[in-house]
Amino acid sequence: MVQSIVIVGGGSAGWITANLLNAHCQRAGRKTQITLVESPDIPTIGVGEATVPTIRRTLNDIGLPERDLLVSAEATFKTLIRFQNWNAGESYDHPFDRRRRPLTDDAVSRWTAQNNLPFDRSFSALTQLADDNVAPKSPRQAQYQGSFPYAYHLDAVKLANRLASFGRERGIQHRLCNVTDVTVSPEGLISAVNTDHGDALAADLYIDCTGFRSALLGGALGVKMRSFAKYLLCDRAVTMRIPYDVHKPERLLTYTLATARDAGWQWDINLQNRRGIGYVYSSAFLNEDAAEAALRQHEGRHCDQLEARHIRFTSGKRQVSWKGNCVAVGLSDGFLEPLESSGLYLIEFAGLAIATMLDDFAAAPKATARYYNRISDELYDEILGFLNLHYVISTRRDTPFWQAATADEAILDDLRDRLELWKRRSPTQFDFPGADRLFAQDSYEFILHGMKYVDGPVSGAPGVPDLSALVGKSRAELPEQEALLALVQRAAAVQA
């Protein structure tokens, strides 16, 4: 039985993992002591502001009430990503709602024959509701439940801070100190994490949440990286926070805006009290000063006095995620890039997987590590292929970056064969093996058709779903995002 776990590093990775493990152990009746060691001197990156719908399951699993999340993390509702200029001058959505798909349904094939209609608006109610800022749920619905799938935009630092207090209240030990070194046995197992408080923290399992430093798995255990830079060219980001007392948009968008730019792309995320913007770019085609200038110019003069933050990252993954009695979670294991908001999902996946494998690890540690490494590699490869798709099927060739991003050598080998098939037909379920995928047939359809990559059949009768009744009913019954958030804030104030 795993009786003790030491997590090194806080932030979103550390505190989501700690709370997931703690909740699972308590429900199972395990007396497992979880200790989180966090440096008071190392700031968290804190730019993971967009999530995918699994975050609702994760936070519900942890036990954090949804109202608590919305207030403490300044969260807003996210129902889709709106892509602009990935093909010059064009826009399309990747929404979270999934149209019903009977096995006999060939509506997609019939749609491609009459592709004068936008694919997203033909098959998604959310992409229409987003235009009117309609929230995905009503105040009468239970927490984490809605009329449509949804995720959140949130302040990752504030989320980590709330989960820290939430976890401490439920028995997680929190040590504020610096790790000075790690003791590794001759067998290659971590035997202690040593701190500047003179502690030698021993545990059955160690979890590395130290970010890009990867102090345990990469540092102490020497696990190297495998690079994805050939397929994902972006390796830098310049970010900025725009408080609403400096500049407030007309409404709080229910979607992430992802706008392609000359050397990458830019996000725009609306929280309750500020916007977060960021230019993700390739340092091979743009330097830091030029990237910041481009971000400021795009935003406008109101941001002249606001601080910009520069982030360097490497697209890649550790050769193994779990070695001996140490497993890395979050940036300490790997990172792809901010596109499609997979960063927090990778933390959710890892935390949940580790929680379900604690008994396996106690009984068969080597087999558990091998199995975890296999499913972790498969997940990273799956997401890598989906992100690679966004770039390589673009029709843009107007800058050196887009020429390189769409070059033949930038296409993943596994994706290359499927693209040859998809040029002639829409994806089918047989193109996506595996029972539990983050991005599968529906997601690929929205990207492929949104980018007008699929030629499709040349004949066929129209047969797209009629979403008008659903959209009309939703507009009548669901509040606008700002109205729903105002109700949440008032209810929280009364409760306080």
Total structural domains in the chain?
A: 2
Report the side by side order of strands in the sheet with 179-184: 179-184, 190-195, 200-201
Burial-class residue 65 by CB neighbours within 10 Å (0-12, 13-18, 19+). Answer: middle
Tell me which residue of 425, 478, 190 sits closest to 328, measured CA to CA: 190
**330 with 353, same domain?**
yes
Residue-by-residue pLDDT tens, the chain, 496 positions: 899 999 999 999 999 999 999 999 999 999 999 999 999 988 776 666 899 999 999 999 999 999 999 999 999 999 999 999 999 889 999 999 866 554 445 566 666 545 567 889 888 999 999 999 999 999 999 999 999 999 999 999 999 999 999 999 999 999 999 999 999 999 999 999 999 999 999 999 999 999 999 999 999 999 999 999 999 999 999 999 999 999 999 999 999 999 999 999 999 999 999 999 999 999 999 999 999 999 999 999 999 999 999 999 999 999 999 999 999 999 999 999 999 999 999 999 999 999 999 999 999 999 999 999 999 999 999 999 999 999 999 999 999 999 999 999 999 999 999 999 998 888 888 888 876 789 988 999 999 989 989 875 444 444 677 888 999 999 999 999 999 999 999 888 877 6
Chain position carrying tokens 């630092």: 157
11-27 helix and 54-62 helix, angle to the nearest 10 degrees: 60
- In the chain, how many H helices and how many E strands? 16, 21
**189 with 295, same domain?**
no
Domain that holds residue 287: 236-312
pLDDT score, position 436: 76
Q: CA angle at residue 376 from 101 to 440, to 5 degrees? A: 15
**249 with 347, same domain?**
no
Catalytic residue among 31, 78, 317, 452: 78
**221 with 323, same domain?**
yes
In a domain, residue 458? The reply is no
Sign of CA dihedral 446, 447, 449, 454: negative
Structure tokens that stand for 43 in this block:
């700031």
Q: Which of 380, 406, 427 is where one domain is finished? A: 380
**220 with 335, same domain?**
yes
CA distance 13 to 374: 21
pLDDT score, position 103: 42
In a domain, residue 183? The reply is yes
* CATH number of the domain within which 341 lies: 3.50.50.60
In a domain, residue 59? The reply is no
Q: Which of 380, 413, 433 is where one domain is finished? A: 380
CA distance 112 to 126: 21
In sequence order, which residues have a C-beta less than 8 Å from that of residue 482 and are 6 or more positions away? 133, 251, 252
In a domain, residue 143? The reply is no
Chain position carrying tokens 């959209």: 471
pLDDT score, position 427: 86
Question: At residue 54, what is the residue type?
Answer: T
In a domain, residue 274? The reply is yes
**185 with 210, same domain?**
yes
**354 with 328, same domain?**
yes
Instruction: Report helix, strand or coil for 338.
Output: coil
In a domain, residue 347? The reply is yes
C-beta of residue 182 within 8 angstroms of C-beta of residue 192: yes
**218 with 159, same domain?**
yes
Q: Which of 364, 380, 396 is where one domain is finished? A: 380
- C-alpha distances in angstroms, 321 versus 318, 324, 335? 6, 10, 12
C-beta of residue 438 within 8 angstroms of C-beta of residue 379: yes
Burial-class residue 398 by CB neighbours within 10 Å (0-12, 13-18, 19+). Answer: exposed
Give the start-end residues of each E strand in 116-170: 151-153
pLDDT score, position 459: 42
Paired residues of 212 in beta bridges: none
In a domain, residue 194? The reply is yes
pLDDT score, position 123: 87
In a domain, residue 393? The reply is no
**283 with 178, same domain?**
no
**368 with 266, same domain?**
no
pLDDT score, position 102: 44
**243 with 376, same domain?**
no
Is residue 452 part of the annotated active site? The answer reads no
By DSSP bridging, strand 205-208 and strand 4-8 are: parallel
CA distance 206 to 5: 6
Instruction: Report helix, strand or coil for 328.
Output: strand
C-beta of residue 387 within 8 angstroms of C-beta of residue 337: yes
Over 75-104, what HEC string results?
CEEECEEEEECCCCCCEEEEECCCCCCCCC
Q: What are phi and psi of 260, to 5 degrees?
A: -70, 140
Tell me which residue of 148, 95, 99, 129 sits closest to 464, measured CA to CA: 99
Biggest distance spanned by C-alpha atoms of the chain: 75
**243 with 223, same domain?**
no
